[in-house]
Chain A
Amino acid sequence: GQNIDQPTEMTATEGAIVQINCTYQTSGFNGLFWYQQHAGEAPTFLSYNVLDGLEEKGRFSSFLSRSKGYSYLLLKELQMKDSASYLCATHDDSWGKLQFGAGTQVVVTP
């Protein structure tokens, strides 16, 4: 099975940096995804990591350590529109089930 843990909520100030951690335990692993979801809307793809290391994409970066079962999403230069839930998800060996964590609600304050 798969078990994914991430903090429930984080608060940060506009312009700051926030790091959202995700730990996972899976019976099979074929990649880790990060999505952003605003309430009542579709999850939006942010990043995908399959190899260890850091992937940078604009203000967002994602890191993966397969040996530690650990990932983080780094949000830089926070904007008010970044207030949303951030979902960590793992893909199992057979490119089948994409299992999501409960999400981290990020609140950006002025």
Chain B
Amino acid sequence: DSGVTQTPKHLITATGQRVTLRCSPRSGDLSVYWYQQSLDQGLQFLIQYYNGEERAKGNILERFSAQQFPDLHSELNLSSLELGDSALYFCASSGHSGNTIYFGEGSWLTVV
């Protein structure tokens, strides 16, 4: 158990819909990272937050947004969903030093 908690574990939704994925980082970790992993694809960096502020941005679509709340949990919002958005979405967290980054179990999103 990495200590990073993600919900929901599985989600099936229709095209055009909107979903929210939730992540609770390890206790004390200030950084949260979001990644997308499609079938047979590598981990694609989406976005990072540090203590509530956006720190780095990757190939995140405009239909996607994220935020980190004062209690340090983070949410990834995916809207106007398309079939191609079906993927495993991982959240990871790290402390200030950044030398240990642990991943949650992921949220499986299926868009039908």
Contacts and interface: CB of A to CB of B under 8 A. Distances in A.
Interface string B81-108: 0000000101010000011111111100
B4 to A, nearest CB: 8
Contacts of B55: 94-96
Interface residues of A, number: 26
A65 interface: no
Grouping DSSP codes into helix (H, G, I), strand (E, B) and loop, the A interface class, with mixed when no group exceeds half, is: loop
Contacts of A102: 42
Contact of B56 (A45, A89, A94): A94
Contact of B98 (A91, A101, A103): A91
Contacts of A30: 98
A100 B98 contact: no
Interface in A29-55: 30-31, 33, 35, 40-45, 48, 50
A26 interface: no
A42 B105 contact: yes
Nearest to B108: A40
A10 interface: no
A101 B2 CA distance: 22
A42 B103 contact: yes
B45 A97 contact: yes
B24 interface: no
A98 interface: yes
B50 to A, nearest CB: 8
A31 B99 contact: yes
A99 interface: yes
A78 interface: no
Contacts of A33: 101
Given A43-B90, A98-B45, A48 B100 contact: yes
Interface of B: 2, 31, 33, 35, 42-43, 45, 48, 50, 55-56, 58, 88, 90, 92, 98-106
Interface of A: 30-31, 33, 35, 40-45, 48, 50, 87, 89, 91-92, 94-103
Closest 8 CB pairs of A and B: A96-B56, A95-B98, A42-B103, A100-B43, A97-B56, A102-B42, A96-B55, A43-B103
